[in-house]
Amino acid sequence: MDGLDHVARAQAMEVISFMVEGQEFCVDIGQILEIRGWTPATPVAHAPDYLRGVINLRGAVMPVIDLGVRIGHGPLATTERSVIIVAQVSGKPCGFLVDAVCDTLVVDASQIQTAHDATAGEAPAFVVGFLPLEDRMVTVLRLDEIVSSMQGGAAAIESFAA
């Protein structure tokens, strides 16, 4: 194997794409613990609007964040296709409600156009960039940054988790 093969492989990135209100997003699959079907969440009194509630994840209380609210689309309507993407945030599992999971893709990291370049620095910190694919544009997110950008950050989520 020559050095070029090694470099090309080092830039490969596996992402999982999902839909929120008709827009496609993706995250590095390394951030994901599991994907589970929608389970109605137990509401938490006086919780922020982005916190859908908490669910039981194998005996542990896990907060569920409505990704529609966090990215500015408004609350998501849940259907039989709705899923919760479970990620590790600040050492604890945290769920993110999305409309549907679409695909797992292996992409070249150099294909991602940074949000700073594409939006003249106006994108939120949780938007890594944009991935132009054949007939669509996919927004690349960092789930941990979504939590840290919330009022109270990871501490707010930790207060709802067991």
Residues 80-122: tens digit of each pLDDT: 999 999 998 888 899 999 999 999 999 998 888 887 665 555 6
pLDDT in tens, 131-146: 998 889 999 998 888 8
pLDDT over 90 at 77, yes or no = yes
What residue numbers bound the domain in which 117 lies?
Answer: 13-158
Instruction: Write out the DSSP string of 12-25.
Output: EEEEEEEEETTEEE
Residue 73 in tokens: 């689309």
Q: Output the pLDDT for position 45.
A: 92
Domain count, the chain: 1
Residue 2 domain-assigned (yes or no):
no
Which residues, including other chains, have CB under 8 Å from residue 32's CB and lie 6 or more apart? 16, 85, 86, 87
In a domain, 8, yes or no: no
Query: What percent of the chain is predicted at pLDDT more than 70?
Result: 80
Question: Does residue 1 form part of some domain?
Answer: no
Strand, helix or coil for residue 123: coil
d(CA 11, CA 126): 21
Please give the Cα distance from 5 to 101 (Å, whole number).
Answer: 31
Domain membership flag for residue 5 = no
- For the whole model, what pTM was predicted? 0.83
SS3 148: helix
143 occurs within a structural domain: yes
Domain containing residue 68: CATH number: 2.40.50.180
Q: Which of 9-18, 127-136, 144-153 is predicted least confidently?
A: 144-153
Q: Is residue 6 part of a domain?
A: no
Per-residue confidence (pLDDT) for residue 159, from 0 to 100: 56
